[in-house]
Chain A
Amino acid sequence: MSNLQSQDYIRISATTVTPPAARSWEDQVAKLIDVTRCIGCKACQAACMEWNNLRDEVGFFEGTYDNPLDLDPHTWTLMRFTEYENPKGDLEWLIRKDGCMHCEDPGCLNACPAPGAIVQYANGIVDFISENCIGCGYCVKGCPFNIPRISQADHKSYKCTLCSDRVAASLEPACVKACPTGAIMFGSKKDMTDWAGERVIDLKSRGFENAGLYDPPGVDGTHVMYVLHHADKPSIYAGLPDQPKISSTVEFWKGLLKPLALGSIAFGVVAGFVHWITAGPNEVQPEDEAEANHLLASKGRPTADPSRSIAEETP
C-alpha cells in the first residue's frame, strides 16, 4: 500500500532476521487524536474513503451515529459515539475516531505467518503488504485493538495505513488534512507527545482531573495516540482497551510455536512435493466441475464480490 521501500522496513512478519536499518535516520511519527476537541463530524472518515478509494454500501440506521456500524475492509476509520453519564450525573458525549493504532510492538505483525505481509517502517507505521497476505486472519487475533478486517472479496486483511503513501511524500494523512477543528494532528512522536502535554494542562484547568495521553505501554506505545478527558478510564470511549497487550497466545506463537509451525508448514510442502513426484498431480474430474457450476448457479450470480449486492437487492 505504500511508496516506502523495503529499505525502510524495520520489522517484517514471519521473518526472524531483523532487516538492516538502511534508512534508520527517519523520525518516529505519530498521529495525535485529541478527543476533547473532536466534534464527530466524520470529515476524517470521508477523507479516508476519498484518498483510499473506499466505498462501503449505503447501510441502515441502527440506533447509533456510528456509520457504517463497524470497521470493515471498506472502512478503515470510524467515529464511535458513546453517551456517558459521569459520576456527577452530567452527560458527556464521547466521540472517538477508531482505527489502527500503529503499535510500536504490533500484535498483528507478531501473529502473522505470511512472510512480508505485515511490515513496520522505520518511522513506526505498521503496514499491510497485500500481495503477501494469505488472509489467514491471525492478525485479527493478534491485534489488541480489534482493528484488521478480512475482505470476503479478495480474502486479504485491511486496515488504516496511516496514509503511508502520503507520509512517504511528506504529506500528512488524509484524515489529518480534513479535520476542521485540528483534533487530529500529525508529526514526530516527540512533538505530538509534547503538544498532548499542553492539552492535558488546559483540560485539567477546565476540571478534567484525569485528563491524559493514551500511549499504552503494553504494546511499547503507539504511533496513533489519544488525548482523553478521562485517561483513567479509556474503556468508556467505546471500549478502548484500558491496558492493551499482545495476547499470550500470540506471544507463545511468536516465541516458540512459530518456528515449530513454520517447520510443519515446510514439512507439508516437502511432503506434497514428494506426493506429487510419486503419485502425480490431482486432476479435476468432470463431476467436480458440475458440482462447482451447480454451487455457483444456486447463488444466482457469478462469483462476484458478495458485499456489493446488498443495495441492489433492496432498492
Chain B
Amino acid sequence: MASLAPTFGRGAMTNTWQDIKNANLVVVMGGNAAEAHPCGFKWVIEAKIENGAKLVVVDPRFTRTASVADYYAPIRPGTDIAFLSGVIRYLLENEKIQREYVRAYTNASLIVKEGYGFEDGLFSGYDHEKGQYEKSTWDYELDEQGFAKVDDTWEHPRSVMALLRKHVARYTPEMVSRICGTPQDKFLHICELIAETSAPDKAMTSLFALGWTQHSVGSQNIRTMAMVQLLLGNIGVAGGGMNALRGHSNIQGLTDVGLLSNQMPGYMTLPKDSEVTFDDYMKTRQFKPLRPNQTSYWQNYKKFFVSFQKSMFGDAATAENNWAYDWLPKLDVPLYDIIKAFEMMNHGQMNGYICQGFNPQQAFPDRGKIRRGLSKLKFLVTMDPLDTETSRFWENFGPQNPADSAAIQTEVFQLPTTCFAEENGSLVNSARWLQWHWKAADAPGQAMSDIWIMSGIFHRMRELYRTEGGVFPDPILNLTWNYTDPTDPDPEELAKDMNGRARADLTDPSGAVVKKGGQLLDGFAQLSDDGTTESGCWIFSGCWTDKGNQMARRDATDPRDQGIAPQWAWAWPANRRILYNRASADVAGNPWNPAKPIIQWDGAKWIGIDVPDYGPTVKPSESVGPFIMNVEGVGRLFARDQMVEGPFPEHYEPLESPAINVLHPKVQSNPAVRVFADDRADFGTPSEFPYVATTYRLTEHFHYWTKHARINAILQPQEFVEIGEALAQEKGIAQGSWVRVRSKRGFIVCKAYVTKRIKPLTVDGKPTHVIGVPLHWGFTGQARKGYGANTLTPSVGDANTQTPEFKAFLVNVESVNGPEA
C-alpha cells in the first residue's frame, strides 16, 4: 500500500465493504469488483438500489462490472494516470473541488521548497547514472520553528495547489483521449459525474484492486485517484474513500504483520545497512510535526519498536543492548522482492527457497525464468494445502510445462498444510477487520498446520546453532518461545502475543496500577519505550484483551443502519471502522453530510457511530488535522519524498508499450523503475509484438486454487484469450478456434473468445488492439491443462513495491491448428 500511506498516513482501505452502500457514485477503475469480489459487490448493488447511486466503470474491457454499470468508458491499459490527471485538471478548471475541505484537510496551502521542479518528464534531482532520484527538493519550505510555510490563498507560485495546477495543465481532454484512447465525450461525461460529488453532502467511492497495482506505475495510479478524492472531500466520509479490494482473504494481514522484505509488523520499517546504530535508526524516525499542534502519531514509533523487540526477545532485549537492535536484519538494497529473488536464483545467488502458501511458477512473471530459477536451487520447500505448479515445476507435463527432469537437481520437499477451515485463527479482511474463525474439519492425510511446520524448522535450526555454533546465533538462540506446546503453539497464544502484555505493573500519572505485570493490554496507547510492555504488532493491540477475544465478536447491531457494526469482530486501529473519520465533519465539528454523520463534536467530546480516528476530546479550535499519522496532519496532494518517482503522479508508458510517450518522448517509462539487464533484453517491441495484452481473473475461479475443484472446473474449464472482433477478422481468427499468443518471453496456445467487449482504441491517431488473457489454468487440478498467462508477462515491477506489471505488455497473435487430440 505504497500509495495510500504516503497520501493519508496508513496503507489500507479507508472505508468498509458495507459502507459502499452510502455512496452516491461508485467508480470502479483499476479493478473489476463484480468479477473478482462478487460477494462484496452486493454493497454496490445496494448503493444503486437503496441510495440511487450511479456506477461508472473505466476498463479496457467491458467487464461483468460494466454489465451492471450506468456508464462505461474504455481505456488503454497503463494510462490511468493520464485519465485521472485529466480529471484533476477538470475539477480545478471548473471549480469543482470542496474548497473548505481542501484548504483545511490537505496540504494544498503548504509551500514547497525552492529548487523543486518538473521538466520534460523528470522531477528535480534525477540521477541518470543510478536511475534514481535525490529527493531533497521534494519538500516544504520551513519557517524558523521548523514548520511548513502556508499560503491559504493558494496564490503563492510554490503552494502545492499552484504547483498541482501547473502539473496537470497538460492533461487536457484532447491529451487524455490521445493517450488513453478514451473518446473525449465519454471522458468528459465521467468528469461531470465525478465533479458532482464535490458537494459536501455527496460522496464517491473508488473501488480498485490489481488493475491499478500491477503496473510499473501502480502506486502512482492509486495516488492519482487518492488526490482526486482529497480534492472532492471524499476521504473520511460515509460512502467515500479509497477502497483497495484485497484479492486474498488475508492479504491485508500480510502487510499488517510485515511480511514484505523491507517491513516489520505494524508498518514499521526494517533498518538499512547504513543505519548502523539504534540512534541512526531512530534519527530518521522522529516524525516531528511539520505544522503546529499536529498529532503525528508515529512520534510514538519508539514505543512500538521497543515493545516489538520485547515481544521477540523478552528479557534478552534491554536498554543496554539497544533493545537488541543489532539482531535485526539490515537491508543492503531497498527490497528483496520476489522478482529480485528469482533474479538471484537465476544467478546462483539464492540456493534454497521456502515457498509458503505461494505458487510463483503460476503467479510470477516470465514463467520460463521462474522455472529456470527453481531448477538452479539446491532445495525447494513448498507448503500448501494444494498441489501447486511450483512443487511440480520439475516434472514434464508436455508443452504446458516442458521441464527436462533429468537435468534438474533441485531437491523438492512438498509439505501439505492445513487450509483455513482446518484450523483456528484470524484473517484480516480488506476493511482491516480481524475476524476469528474456527476449525470446521480435520485436515486430510499428513497435512499439518503452517505453525507446526515453522516451529519444527525453528527448533531444529536452534538446536544446530546450539550444538554447532554459527556466524550469528544470537537472534535465533534468544528468540522468546513461551508456548504450552513449543512444537505447536496455539493460534490463540500467538494472537495474544500480537495484542501484547504488560511486563511489569503499569501505572497511570496518579500512580494507580492500571495493568498488572502479565496482563493483556487494552490497546496500543498503553505501549511504552522503557521495556515494560511487549506487543508483536502494535496496530493489532486491542484485538485480544482481558475482556477476551475481540475478533470473535459477532454482534451485527448497526445503530444507524449505516454499515458500521462496532461489535462485529475488531478492526485495527483501535476498532475504528472508517479511517480519518474526523474529516467527515467540517472544521467546526459538524458533519459535512448531516444525513450520514460518522462522528461530530458535541461541545465536550467527539460522539458518533465510530471510534474517533482522533483525540476523543481534542477541540475543533485546536486545529489538529484529521490525518493523524501524517507529520503535517493533513492529506498529501504533494507526497514529499514518499514515492520513488515523484511527489506528483506523471504518466509514463508501460515498459512494453505500443505508443510513444507524447508528453515527453525522451522519458518514455517510469524513470525510477528497476529492471534487471536480462529482463530488459526480454522486452518486446511494437513492431514485432503490436498488440497490448492485459491479464485478469474470472469470477468462476479463485487464482490457481479452484481449478482443483470440480464445480469451478465445470464452470470455466479451459484456458482462453479474449480478442475483439476487428482484430479477429484481421487475423482470420474464428470464434472458439485455436490461437497462439506470443510475447518476447514465450507463447501460449489456447482457444480464442472473439468478443464485442473489447474494441480497438484510437491512441495518438492509431488503432490499438487489446488482448485479454485470463490467468487461471495450469498443469495441476481438475480443469483442462493450460500454459498460464505468466508465460507471457514481463519481469518488471512497480517502482515502489515491485508488484509485477501484469496489466500492460505486448504480444502478437496468430491462428493455429489445435493440438493433436
Contact = CB atoms under 8 A, between A and B. Distances in A.
Given A36-B68, A39-B68, A83-B757, A58 B38 contact: no
Nearest to B725: A83
B715 A45 contact: yes
B711 A61 contact: no
A38 B68 CA distance: 7
Contacts of B782: 58
B751 interface: yes
Contacts of B48: 37
Given A42-B715, A55-B714, A181-B45, A61 B67 contact: no
A212 interface: no
A51 B663 CA distance: 57
Contact of B34 (A39, A94, A199): A39
Nearest to B46: A182
Interface string A62-87: 11110110000000000000010100
A49 B42 contact: no
Contacts of A65: 716
Interface in A4-23: none
Contacts of A291: none
Contact of B45 (A43, A62, A95, A182): A182
A299 interface: no
Interface residues of A, number: 41
B717 A59 contact: yes
A257 B469 CA distance: 96
Interface string B678-715: 00000000000000000000011000000000111111
Interface in A64-119: 64-65, 67-68, 83, 85, 90-95
Given A43-B38, A61-B719, A50 B756 contact: no
B101 interface: no
A181 B49 CA distance: 11
A271 interface: no
B718 interface: yes
B149 interface: no
A49 B700 CA distance: 14
Interface in B743-766: 750-757
A209 interface: no
A234 to B, nearest CB: 18
A37 B46 CA distance: 10
A43 B62 CA distance: 21
By size class, the interface of chain B is: 35 or more
Nearest to A199: B49
B39 A180 contact: yes
Given A63-B751, A91-B62, A39 B714 contact: no
Nearest to B754: A63
A42 B699 contact: yes
Contact of B714 (A49, A62, A93): A49
B663 to A, nearest CB: 30
A191 interface: no
B714 A68 contact: yes
Interface in B56-75: 62, 64-68, 70, 72
B41 A181 contact: yes
Chain A CB within 10 A, most for which of B64, B735, B736, B751: B64
Given A39-B64, A55-B710, A182-B45, A60 B38 contact: no
A39 B699 contact: yes
B462 interface: no
A91 B783 contact: no
Contacts of B753: 61, 63-64
Contacts of A59: 714, 717-718
Nearest to A39: B34
Contact of B38 (A92, A180, A202): A180
Contacts of A270: none
A46 interface: yes
Given A182-B42, A182-B45, A39 B67 contact: yes
Contacts of B755: 83
A294 interface: no
A202 B54 CA distance: 12
A3 interface: no
Contacts of A94: 67
B216 to A, nearest CB: 30
A194 interface: no
Nearest to A40: B64
Contact of B736 (A55, A63, A180): A63
B38 A181 contact: yes
Chain B CB within 10 A, most for which of A68, A181, A182: A181
A90 to B, nearest CB: 8
A67 B717 CA distance: 8
For the complex of A and B, 6 pairs with smallest distance between CB atoms? A63-B736, A61-B718, A39-B34, A93-B67, A63-B735, A41-B38
20 contacts: A37-B49, A41-B64, A41-B699, A41-B700, A43-B38, A46-B715, A58-B717, A59-B714, A61-B720, A61-B750, A61-B751, A61-B753, A62-B736, A63-B735, A63-B737, A63-B753, A63-B754, A67-B715, A181-B34, A181-B45
Given A58-B717, A83-B755, 12 more contacts: A37-B68, A39-B67, A42-B700, A61-B753, A63-B751, A63-B752, A83-B756, A91-B62, A180-B42, A182-B42, A183-B45, A206-B70
Interface of B: 34-35, 38-39, 41-42, 45, 48-49, 62, 64-68, 70, 72, 699-700, 710-720, 735-737, 750-757, 782-784, 821
